[in-house]
């Protein structure tokens, strides 16, 4: 029996054990890299009926690129919870948290930690609530057998050199083209168990690359669900001794990885203003193109105008055009504006709270509330340039 099979058998046996009324809560937070999640467990007792029943907790921020050792305590504030697929009982939970640090030595005032962009996003989504923004996020990622200073080897790639040219891998079937389906299936089922609105999954264009879709989900919850889905993916891969990377561009001559954002408002879903409204929305996105590129993850190598991408420097749009910055689905055009649009610029390593807020504030709020989030994110990006963070 393989090591992986033995591991799953062991887990299955443990999951039959009763917990004597105790609840295992896995607290999840975003660390200072803004692409990696951390987690730790806590025993709770009593029925969890709402988020208010889950206590505030803390962690060592000095080990997560978020605090100094002399003031290392970061406060975890639960914001959402989901059934835990890894502990099998529906009363065990995954707890997504915002992180906060003390503003001064008096320990009287909390402020958001360096990657708590959800804190700023809440104001943006509250202002846009009258248009009920819906999102579908296409999260692409790569599955790696290993990565170090000298080599990156995606799952299924030869031990040296490169695989055959792109073409047969997208939505592929068969052992010579499709690598990692068992990981994808485990992730898919785990997300369904957790109650996430995972819409589907498929192999992507580069061998060893996959995609899953979260949505449609309304408002800030789309960001919550993407982060939890990422946690579940990394946790599943851990059991296979495989690494997941959200790096947007691993190899120059192969497709990069994005996180395309499909977006609609109440007006778009009603179709009452037709294609004129769609074009107005796109014009607003065009006018803020530079700012959006700054907020859409690391596109320094990905948005080149090649490999199914637009250029980072030029905004374009078109019906059914996958080389455009923003694609109008043919279904939306055929139905006179009834539907949604797809922003294809976001990279796979986006912070969804940041990217979704940029879309919403630009198109619904006319840019009225983005300043605080933009300032916090740009400050984090400057700090990130010099921070010693080990990358996956």
pLDDT digits (tens, 9 = 90+) for 92-115: 999 999 999 988 767 788 999 999
Q: pLDDT tens across 163-191, in order?
A: 999 999 999 999 999 999 999 999 999 99
Query: Which residues touch 116 (CB under 8 Å, ≥6 apart)?
Result: 30, 98, 99, 100
Residues 147 and 286 grouped into a single domain: yes
Residues 210 and 280 grouped into a single domain: yes
Within-domain flag for 93: yes
Within-domain flag for 15: no
Q: pLDDT tens across 128-160, in order?
A: 999 999 999 999 999 999 777 677 899 999 988
Kindly state the helix (H) or strand (E) to which residue 261 belongs, with its residue range. strand 259-264
Residues 230 and 351 grouped into a single domain: yes
Within-domain flag for 86: yes
Mean pLDDT across 25-31: 98
Within-domain flag for 5: no
DSSP annotation of 133 reads: -
Closest C-alpha to 295, from 359, 232, 367: 359
- % of the chain at pLDDT higher than 90: 84
Q: pLDDT tens across 185-217, in order?
A: 999 999 999 999 999 999 999 999 999 999 999
Residues 165 and 220 grouped into a single domain: yes
* Coil/strand/helix, residue 322: coil
Task: State residue 10's pLDDT score.
Answer: 56
Task: State residue 171's pLDDT score.
Answer: 97
Q: What is the CATH number of the domain that holds 208?
A: 3.30.590.10
Residues 96 and 231 grouped into a single domain: no
Number of domains observed in the structure of the chain = 2
Task: State residue 148's pLDDT score.
Answer: 73
pLDDT bracket for residue 392 (50, 70, 90): low
Residues 92 and 193 grouped into a single domain: no
Q: For all residues of the chain together, what is the average pLDDT?
A: 93
Q: pLDDT tens across 38-78, in order?
A: 999 999 999 999 999 999 999 999 999 998 888 899 999 99
Task: State residue 6's pLDDT score.
Answer: 57
Task: State residue 11's pLDDT score.
Answer: 59
Among the candidates 115, 134, 167, a domain finishes at 115
Within-domain flag for 13: no
Q: pLDDT tens across 305-348, in order?
A: 898 899 999 999 999 999 999 999 999 999 999 999 999 999 99
The answer on pLDDT for 301 being more than 60 is yes
User: Within 10 A of 182 (CB to CB), how many other CB atoms are there?
Assistant: 10
The answer on pLDDT for 1 being more than 60 is no
Distance CA 302, CA 167 (A): 19
Between β-strands 317-319 and 326-328, what pairing exists: parallel, antiparallel or unpaired? parallel
Within-domain flag for 264: yes
The answer on pLDDT for 36 being more than 50 is yes
Residues 160 and 37 grouped into a single domain: no
Among the candidates 86, 115, 144, a domain finishes at 115
Closest C-alpha to 323, from 341, 311, 335: 311
Residues 217 and 91 grouped into a single domain: no
Residues 108 and 154 grouped into a single domain: no
pLDDT bracket for residue 391 (50, 70, 90): low
The answer on pLDDT for 383 being more than 70 is yes
Q: What is the CATH number of the domain that holds 32?
A: 3.10.20.70
Within-domain flag for 131: yes
Among the candidates 79, 96, 115, a domain finishes at 115
Task: State residue 388's pLDDT score.
Answer: 78
User: Within 10 A of 329 (CB to CB), how many other CB atoms are there?
Assistant: 15
Within-domain flag for 232: yes
Q: Determine if the pTM surpasses 0.85.
A: yes
Residues 100 and 193 grouped into a single domain: no
- Pick left, alpha or beta for residue 337 (phi over 0 → left; psi -120 to 50 → alpha; otherwise beta): left
Residues 216 and 177 grouped into a single domain: yes
Dmax (CA) of the chain:
61
Domain range enclosing 53: 20-115
The phi, psi pair for 339, rounded to 5°, reads 150, -130
Residues 82 and 214 grouped into a single domain: no
């Amino acid at each position: 029996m393989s090591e992986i099979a033995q591991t799953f058998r062991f887990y299955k046996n443990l999951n039959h054990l009763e917990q004597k009324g105790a609840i295992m809560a896995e607290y999840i937070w975003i660390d200072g890299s803004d692409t990696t999640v951390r987690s730790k467990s806590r025993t709770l007792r009593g029925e969890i009926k709402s988020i208010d029943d889950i206590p505030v907790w803390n962690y060592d921020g000095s080990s997560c690129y978020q605090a100094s050792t002399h003031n290392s305590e970061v406060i975890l504030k639960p914001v959402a919870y989901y059934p835990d697929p890894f502990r099998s009982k529906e009363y065990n939970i995954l707890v997504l948290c915002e992180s906060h640090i003390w503003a001064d030595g008096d320990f009287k005032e909390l402020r958001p930690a360096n990657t708590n962009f959800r804190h700023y996003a809440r104001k943006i989504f509250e202002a846009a609530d009258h248009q009920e923004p819906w999102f579908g996020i296409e999260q692409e990622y790569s599955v790696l057998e290993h990565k170090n200073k000298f080599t990156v080897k995606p799952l299924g790639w030869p031990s040296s050199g490169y695989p055959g040219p792109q073409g047969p891998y997208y939505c592929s079937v068969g052992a010579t083209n499709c690598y990692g389906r068992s990981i994808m299936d485990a992730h898919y089922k785990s997300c369904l168990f957790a109650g996430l609105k995972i819409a589907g999954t498929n192999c992507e264009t580069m061998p060893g690359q996959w995609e899953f879709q979260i949505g449609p989900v309304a408002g800030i919850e789309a960001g919550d669900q993407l982060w939890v889905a990422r946690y579940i993916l990394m946790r599943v891969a851990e059991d296979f001794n495989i690494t997941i990377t959200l790096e947007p561009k691993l190899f120059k001559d192969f497709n990069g990885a994005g996180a395309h954002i499909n977006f609609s408002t109440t007006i778009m879903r009603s179709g009452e203003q037709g294609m004129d409204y769609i074009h107005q929305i796109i014009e607003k996105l065009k006018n803020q193109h530079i700012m959006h590129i700054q907020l859409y993850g690391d596109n320094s190598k990905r948005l080149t105008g090649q490999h199914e991408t637009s250029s980072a420097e030029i905004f374009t749009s078109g019906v059914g055009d996958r080389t455009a910055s923003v694609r109008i689905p043919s279904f939306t055009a055929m139905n006179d504006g009834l539907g949604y649009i797809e922003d294809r610029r976001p990279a796979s390593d986006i912070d969804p709270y940041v990217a979704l807020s940029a879309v919403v504030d630009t198109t619904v709020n006319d840019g009225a509330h983005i300043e605080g989030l933009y300032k916090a994110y740009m400050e984090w990006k400057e700090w990130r340039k010099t921070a010693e963070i080990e990358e996956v």
